[in-house]
């Protein structure tokens, strides 16, 4: 009888630990989802701003003159507050 009681206690404790593990896994998953949703909001707002920003047309060697293109690029970079040190990249 005592042995049966010990086995039942161990089974109950094991079940309790499984439930605690499930709760922790659920909490972790909820936190991951929350963080990914926050990241998506941040990316979405910056992506929207980038989509609304004016675009610089690419250089077409046949139809554009290099001097005119560089002048347009400089105006574009200045209007977007780019640091001159990163213009080359």
Residue 25 has pLDDT above 80, yes or no: yes
Whether residue 45 is found in the same domain as residue 2 = yes
Whether residue 44 is found in the same domain as residue 60 = no
Cβ atoms of residues 69 and 56 within 8 Å: no
Residue of higher predicted confidence among 73 and 37 = 73
Cβ atoms of residues 56 and 73 within 8 Å: yes
Whether residue 44 is found in the same domain as residue 9 = yes
pLDDT at residue 18, as a whole number: 87
DSSP, collapsed to helix, strand or coil, labels residue 64 as coil
Whether residue 33 is found in the same domain as residue 1 = yes
Tell me the pLDDT band of 89, cut-offs 50, 70 and 90. Answer: confident
Whether residue 7 is found in the same domain as residue 38 = yes
What's the pTM value of the predicted model, to 2 decimals? 0.39
Length of the chain: 89
Whether residue 60 is found in the same domain as residue 88 = yes
Whether residue 31 is found in the same domain as residue 49 = yes
Whether residue 47 is found in the same domain as residue 69 = no
Query: What is the domain extent for residue 68?
Result: 55-89
Whether residue 39 is found in the same domain as residue 8 = yes
How many domains does the structure of the chain reveal? 2
Cα distances (Å, whole numbers) of residue 19 to 5, 10, 11, 29: 21, 14, 12, 15
Task: Classify the C-alpha dihedral 58-53-42-82 as positive or negative.
Answer: positive
């Amino acid at each position: 009888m005592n042995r049966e009681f010990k086995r039942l206690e161990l089974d109950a404790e094991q079940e309790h630990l499984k439930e605690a593990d499930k709760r922790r896994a659920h909490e972790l998953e909820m936190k991951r989802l929350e963080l990914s949703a926050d990241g998506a909001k941040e990316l979405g707002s910056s992506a929207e701003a980038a989509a609304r920003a004016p675009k610089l047309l690419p250089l077409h060697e046949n139809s554009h003159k290099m001097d005119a293109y560089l002048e347009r690029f400089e105006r574009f970079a200045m209007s977007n507050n780019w640091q001159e040190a990163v213009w080359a990249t």
